Amino acid sequence: MPIRNLVIKNFKTFFFSNFFLLAFIFPIQANTANTPEIAAASPLTDENIMAFLHTNQGMLWGILITLIIGLILLQRGKHLYEIKKILNAKFASFTIDETHQKICLYQRHDKNIAVKLPIKNLIKSDIFLNDKSITSINAIDGLGFSATQEQALMFQFSTESRDKMLEDKKRKIEMVLIDDKYRQYNICLYFRKGDQRYTRTKYDDVIAQLVEWSWLVALAITPEQTTARIVKTPRHIQSNQKKQQKTTVSTQVTPSQVDNIKKQSASAKHVNNEEKLIKSQVTAAENNKSAQDIELINTLDKLTKLKQQGYLSDVEFSVAKAKILQNLVNN
């Protein structure tokens, strides 16, 4: 790596110091070398330089554009090299060996385990977001982990995820472990600048892994300061459990409960039949009363017409009317 830095540094120094020499003096010397008499008669003056620039504008523009592109590529390459250098100096990922209760650390672009640490030998585990400590589990200071701390941790990550990743904005998640011999292990789990992500694991996956690790290491090194974890059941599992509960309840009905259900059903049917009978009787009575009313009105109309035509006297009309009304009351 130092040799590469030296080559880049020397190349930049040579490029800047010899650009004007390569662009102006060398073409003039090449032309005058073939014509000694012109070289002797044409000294290097301002007029000759201007004439050369005017004659070779296309070539000079090409050199200028090439220079600009080269500088841009060189700058980007240098920046990328510096980022990779930082990432290569740290561990890139980790896994958990649950059988032996160990954490396995991996170097960048390497599938082989670089370091394997017993979890119980750790005394501190810190999580950093953009170089700021957001969670610390410390066996010496008695700092454990709890559901409240998990919520605070998730809030920090959620707030950071809502920020827009502009061109120069960096987002970095690191974890620092210290064992009982005070050896420090730095793990860069996530690094992004602008729209370019330089680590393999996605942001949400890193967060989920860190939450699981925090509970695991806290229970291992600070069990007394760590509260019980509240595990939220996913919604699709909750819906399946409710369906299973409904199925279980429906299949656990006893024979006596079946008889009660049948009796209740029969009683309900009997009540419904009685209600229908009463309703039909009321309806029939109402219809009969309506028919009687119509018959009374028609009879009185006939009596009135007979009286008007002179067939009945006032006394006869009154007697007939009283008789009709009496019959209606008796009915």
DSSP-derived letter for residue 112 is S
CA distance 112 to 117: 14
DSSP per-residue letters across 259-288: HHHHHHHHHHHHHHHHHHHHHHHHHHHHHH
CA distance 24 to 52: 8
Yes or no: say if 134 and 176 are a contact pair by the CB < 8 Å rule.
no
What's the pTM value of the predicted model, to 2 decimals?
Answer: 0.52
How confident is the model at residue 214, as a pLDDT?
94
CA distance 55 to 52: 5
How confident is the model at residue 330, as a pLDDT?
64
Yes or no: say if 186 and 131 are a contact pair by the CB < 8 Å rule.
no
CA distance 242 to 158: 31
How confident is the model at residue 33, as a pLDDT?
44
Mean pLDDT by 10 residues, the chain (331 residues): 49 50 47 47 59 69 78 66 81 92 92 94 95 93 93 92 84 94 94 88 94 94 90 56 54 59 62 64 60 71 78 76 71 57
Helices (H), 109-202: 147-162
